[in-house]
Amino acid sequence: MKVGFDDTEHYECMLTDHSQNQKLRPNPDRPNRNNNTIVTKCTMLSRWQIFALLALPVLLVLEIQHIHFFSSVTPRIPAISSWLPNSLQPSTRPRVTLRQGTVVGVTLRHTLKHPVEAFRGIPYALPPTGKRRFRRPKRVDPSDELIDAGRMGRRCPGKQLIPLKGDPGSDEDCLTVNIFRPRGVQWRKLPVAVYIHGGAYNRGSEPFIGVSFNYRLGALGFLPSSTTAQEGLLNLGLHDQIFLLDWVHDNIEAFGGDASQVTLFGVSAGAHSIAHHIMNIKLGDELFHRAIIESGAATSRAVHPPNATLHEDQFRQFVDESGCNNMPDKEIFGCLRRQPLDRITNASFTVFDRYNPSVRWAFQPVIDGDIIAQRPIDAWNSGEWNKMPILTGFNTNEGTYYVPTNMSKSEEFTEFFHTLLPAFSDADLKTIDSLYPDPARDPSSPYLETRNISVGSQYKRVEAAYGQYAYVCPVRQTARFASRGQKKPVFLYRWALNTTVQGGANHADQLPYEAFDPEVRGISPSQEEVSGMLHAYFTSFIIRGDPNAVSGAYPDRPLWESYTPDGRIMIFGDGNDERAGGAGTGVPAQLARDEWSRRECNFWWKKTESN
C-alpha cells in the first residue's frame, strides 16, 4: 500500500493481522522515499543485519560497522500486507508477549543455514522527548497492543565521526532494543550477549541470544556541570544502559534467554561504560555476569567531578549555543526542554567540534556519587568491584583515528600533550618525549616515518603515545587489577593484524573478524583463519565465560591462558600485513609474554595510580 513517496512523506507497511483480527498500529516515522523499493525496505536485510543474526555478537559488531550508533524511533506495527512474501505475512511472524504488549518480529532467512528471528526497535523506555528530555528514563506503560518489531528504528542523536552506509538517521525518540534469537528456542534458556555500542555466532555448536540497543548520546545523554548535578541529571546515558539491563532481566526469558547468563560486550565508549558498571558495586552482579571490554577501560578517560572547570566551560558554551543563556540556573533545563531538537543537536555538535582537535571531548561521564561513585583508579585500589570473568584487549595502533595526521614539529607533539594533560609538569612532558624518541633528533627512533604516505613526520610518534595513554595501557591496567583482585578469570589480547599502511592495527579493526564477516574471511586463507579463531574464542566466552570451553570450528586453536600480571597475552594476526599490501601472513593466534610497550605503560600507570 502506498502512502506517500516524496521527500516529506513516508511509506508504511500497513496491514491487518488476520490471525488475530487486530489492526496493527502503523509506524508513522520511517522514511521510505522510493516508490519502487518499498517491498525491499520492508523485507530485505542489509549485510550487517544478516550477519547479526548468526548468533550474535555479530549483530553487535556489524551494527557498529555500518550504523556506528544503533538506530531507534519507537516502531509501532508495520502491518505487513498481502503483497509481501508469505514468509513475512503477519500470521507467520514470531510473537512474544510482554508486559508492555505483544511484539511482532520477523524471521530472517536470506542465505542463512538456520533462520533467525529478529525483534527490532522495541521501546524499553518512554520516549525521552518534551518534558522527559534531560530526565532519567521512565518505564513503558502496560498494554495489550501489538507492537511492530520488524525493522530497526533510528539511532539517538550523536556526532557521527565517520560517514556510514545504511544510516537510518537519528531521532530523539530512540530508546529501543533489538533482540535476535535462533528460530525455535523460545522455550529454552540460552546465554545472552548485550552489546553497548561505542563511540558493536552461529558457528559454534551452542546458540545464544543477541541484544543491541540505543542510549542517549552527546549533550542529551552526558551534560556535566554543577547545575546538572543540582538537578540530579548527570550521566543520563549510563542510566539508560542500566534501565535497559533491567528490561532485559525482566523480559529476556520470554524470548528464550537466561537472565542469569548475560554477557556485556562493548568497544571504545561501550567498553568504558561496561567498566563503570563493573565498578558500580551498588548495581551488583544480578544484571550481567561476564564482560567483554575492548579498546576501552574505566581509566581510559579522566573522570572528573561535574563542576570541573572543563565541564563548566563546555556546559556554558552549550547553553549559549542553545539560546538558553542569560537566565537563572534553575530555569536553564526548562528552557532546554522547550528548544527544537535541531537547535540542541547543533549546539552539541558545535561544542564537541570545538574541543575535538585536542581530544578533550565534551559530554563525557563524570563522578556522580551514584553510578560513578569515585575515580576509577580509587575503585581499583579499594578492591571493591563486581567480580566476574573478563575478556579484554587492545589494538597495536589505537591512536590513528584521533591524532592530527599532519603533525610535523617536535613542539607540536609537546603542545598536544600539554593541552591534553594540563596537570602534567614539564618533567612529565620530558619523560613522554624520551619514551617516544623524536625522529627529528634521533634517526634510530622507531617512529621515524619511512612509509611514503602523506602524513607529518610526528604522526607515527603521536599516534603511538596517545594510543598507549588512552587505550593500550588502561586496558592492561584493567587486566592487572582484576587478575590480582578476583578469583574469576581474566583474559587479555592484542590485535596486531595490519589492515592499512597508515592505520596499522587500528582502533576497532578487529570487529569484522570477531563477526566472521565474509568480507574479511574471503580475502585469503590466513584472514579466514585469524577471523575463525577470534570468533571461536569470543563465542565460547559468551556461552561459558571461558574462551577455551567450546571447541567450535577451531578445536585445535591455542589454549588461552587466564592472565596474571607477569603472565601471557594472546596476540592475533601478528606479522600479517596482507591487507596493507604486504605478503606476510603471520600467526593467527599465539600466546606471548606481556612485554610489548611495558616500559611506556609503567609510566602511564604510575601517573594514574599516584595521583
- Residue for cell digits 544502559? 241
Q: What is the pLDDT of residue 560?
A: 98
Helix axes 236-251, 269-279, angle to 10 degrees: 70
Domain boundary among 267, 301, 318: 267
pLDDT at residue 18, rounded to an integer: 31
Single-letter amino acid, residue 607:
K
Q: Give the confidence band of 163 by pLDDT, cuts at 50, 70, 90.
A: low
Q: What is the pLDDT of residues 314-353, one digit of tens each?
A: 999 999 999 999 899 999 999 999 999 999 999 999 999 9
Q: Is the confidence at residue 562, as pLDDT, over 50? A: yes
455 grid coordinates: 602524513
> Residue 3 above 80 pLDDT?
no
pLDDT(225) > 70: yes
Is 195 within a domain?
A: yes
- 359's torsion region: left (phi>0), alpha (psi -120 to 50) or beta? left
Residues 431, 603: Cα–Cα separation, whole Å: 8
The helix/strand count (H/E) of the chain reads as 19, 16
Q: Are 205 and 222 in contact (CB under 8 A)?
A: no
Q: Do the domain assignments include residue 363?
A: no
For residue 416, being part of any structural domain is answered with yes
Specify the higher pLDDT residue, 2 or 512: 512
Rounded mean pLDDT, 33-45: 29
Is residue 390 within 8 A of residue 266, CB to CB? The reply is: no
* Percent of the chain's residues with pLDDT above 90: 72
Closest residue by Cα to residue 297 from 316, 277, 319, 315:
277
CB atoms under 10 Å from CB of 140, counted, come to 20
Q: What is the DSSP letter of 506?
A: B
In the three-class reduction of DSSP (H, G, I as helix; E, B as strand; rest coil), residue 491 is classed as strand
Find all residues with CB under 8 Å of 266, minimum gap 6, and list them: 195, 196, 197, 198, 273, 274, 292, 293, 294, 296
Q: Are residues 392 and 248 in the same domain?
A: no
Would you state the pLDDT for residue 161?
Answer: 57
Report residue 574 as a C-alpha cell: 601478528
- Residue count of the chain, please give it: 611
Q: How far apart are CA 1 and CA 457, in angstroms?
A: 59
Tell me what the mean pLDDT of segment 149-175 comes to. 78
| pLDDT at 566 (0 to 100) | 84
CA 81/CA 303 separation, integer angstroms: 51
Quickly state the pLDDT bin for 552 (edges 50, 70, 90): confident
- What does the mean pLDDT of the chain come to? 84
Instruction: Report if residue 224 sits inside a domain.
Output: yes
Question: How confident is the model over 251-278, as a mean pLDDT?
Answer: 96
**Domain tally, the chain:** 2
pLDDT tens across 469-503, in order? Answer: 999 999 999 999 999 999 999 999 999 999 999 99
Q: Which three cell numbers stand for residue 187?
A: 522455550
Which of these ranges, 186-190, 380-384, 604-608, has the smallest mean pLDDT? 186-190
pLDDT in tens, 409-433: 999 999 999 999 999 999 999 999 9
pLDDT of the residue at 111: 52
pLDDT of residue 608: 86
* Boundary residue ending a domain (203, 237, 267): 267
Regarding whether 384 and 255 lie in a shared domain, the answer is no
Would you call 91 a catalytic residue per the annotation?
no
CA angle 294, 172, 229 (to 5 degrees): 70
* Residue 5 belongs to some domain of the structure: no
Same domain assignment for residues 227 and 96 = yes
CA distance 590 to 573: 9
| CATH number for position 424 | 3.40.50.1820
Which set of grid coordinates corresponds to residue 239? 542510566
The predicted structure's pLDDT at residue 357: 83
| Residue 257 included in any domain | yes
* 77 belongs to a structural domain: yes
Structural domain harbouring 576: 376-610
Whether residues 383 and 257 fall in one domain: no
C-alpha cell at 281: 558495586
Which is more confidently placed, 38 or 301? 301
Residue 243 confidence (pLDDT): 98
pLDDT(293) > 80: yes
Distances (CA, A) of 20 to 1, 24, 57, 88, 487: 20, 10, 34, 15, 52
Query: Which tens digits make up the pLDDT trace of 342-377?
Result: 999 999 999 999 998 888 999 999 999 999 999 999
Structural contact between residues 311 and 366, judged by C-beta atoms closer than 8 angstroms: yes
What pLDDT is recorded for position 152? 85
Exposed / middle / buried, residue 3 (Cβ in 10 Å: 0-12, 13-18, 19+): middle
| 378 pLDDT above the threshold of 60 | yes
Q: What is the pLDDT of residues 440-459, one digit of tens each?
A: 999 999 999 999 999 999 99
Question: Scanning the structure block, which residue is given the C-alpha cell 624518541?
Answer: 437
Query: So what's the pLDDT on residue 206?
Result: 53
State the pLDDT at residue 114.
75
Q: What digits encode the pLDDT tens for the residues 53-86?
A: 333 433 433 333 322 222 222 233 222 222 233 3
Q: Is the pLDDT of residue 7 over 50?
A: no
Q: Has residue 475 been placed in a domain?
A: yes
Tell me how far CA of residue 48 lies from CA of 183, 314, 355, 527, in angstroms: 19, 36, 32, 19
Please give the grid coordinates belonging to residue 497: 593484524
pLDDT digits (tens, 9 = 90+) for 208-221: 899 999 999 999 99
| Single pTM value for the model | 0.85
Residues 247, 395: one domain? no
Q: Is the same domain home to 382 and 263?
A: no
Query: Among residues 72, 225, 268, 540, which one is catalytic?
Result: 268
Mean pLDDT throughout 558-587? 95
Question: Residue 198's pLDDT is what?
Answer: 65
pLDDT, greater one: 167 or 516: 516
* Whole-angstrom distance, CA of residue 480 vs CA of residue 483: 5
Which residue, 209, 243, 267, sits at the end of a domain?
A: 267
The pLDDT value recorded for residue 480 is 96
Which pLDDT value is given to residue 380? Answer: 97
